[in-house]
Amino acid sequence: MSRIQSTLSALQARNRKALIPYVTAGFPFADITPELMHGMVEAGADIIELGVPFSDPMADGPVIQKAGDRALALGIGTAQVLAMVREFRQRNSTTPVVLMGYANPVERYDLVHGSNAFIRDAAAAGVDGVLVVDYPPEECEDFAAQLKSHGLDLIFLLAPTSTDERMQQVARVASGYVYYVSLKGVTGAGTLDTGAVEAMLPRIRRHVSVPVGVGFGIRDAATARAIGRVADAVVIGSKIIQLIENQPRGQVVAAAAAFLREIRAALDA
């Protein structure tokens, strides 16, 4: 059982919902990410999604696009992201870390370092799962098998527009959890309709046996609590990026942690 699966199973056994914050690696300061990851765990995070900066992130809205651009300008690439995970693992061997990004950085890393080098080096660094936004499930069986052989989970997005056939394709290769994009559009767009999410989750669960996390549009404790009543995990990204983007370096971790403590308390209430 992977570290993601054991973490989510333990939470389900305690009837507790997972809190999964997303931050872009190397944002807002190149060297702050491991410290920020530890701060988020201390505030109640169960799994951390770490965004790999990319110049053309088509699923992300302006907030995360801007964070990615800033991280790229600071020289953050895939190798630097893996180094951040290695540093985090020096003090934390239990909290799962998921890399979220796009095919181009994965394939470029392999081109430079050798075939399947990304999976090998991610596993060695202490990564637990990978979400590659533009890898379709019908073309991922070899990638999923390689990840599985290194103990990594492959996580997929589902959307309000996903068909039953698409859900069945995802179910064949997904592990760890699936990430339900609760809004049509990009990250941080629109207002979340909790009733629509509640109506969609039983349909997803008819096809997918792994836990279901919900993200895109969760920006406060009340919404997180509403989603936590029906989902297995709550994923929050854009709001955290907004909270930390203009903080002085010494206040970044505290700003993110204060927000996550509110979310944690709402999920546990």
Based on the residue annotation, tell me whether 49 is a catalytic residue of this protein: yes
Tell me how far apart the alpha carbons of residues 211 and 2 are, in angstroms, rounded to a whole number.
Answer: 13
- Partnered with residue 22 across adjacent β-strands are 49
Catalytic one of 46, 60, 87, 153: 60
Give the residue from 158, 242, 162, 231 showing the smallest Cα distance to 201.
231
Give the residue from 219, 227, 217 showing the smallest Cα distance to 260.
219
Alpha-carbon distances, residue 207 vs 114, 138, 169, 211 (angstroms): 36, 15, 9, 11
Q: In what order do the strands lie in the sheet with 233-236?
A: 153-154, 129-132, 97-101, 48-51, 18-24, 233-236, 212-215, 178-181, 156-158
Tell me how far apart the alpha carbons of residues 106 and 116 are, in angstroms, rounded to a whole number.
Answer: 9
Catalytic one of 49, 87, 128, 153: 49
Tell me how far apart the alpha carbons of residues 132 and 198 are, in angstroms, rounded to a whole number.
Answer: 25
Instruction: Write the burial class of residue 208 (CB in 10 Å: 0-12 exposed, 13-18 middle, 19+ buried).
Output: buried
Tell me how far apart the alpha carbons of residues 218 and 209 are, in angstroms, rounded to a whole number.
Answer: 24
What residues are annotated to the active site?
Answer: 49, 60
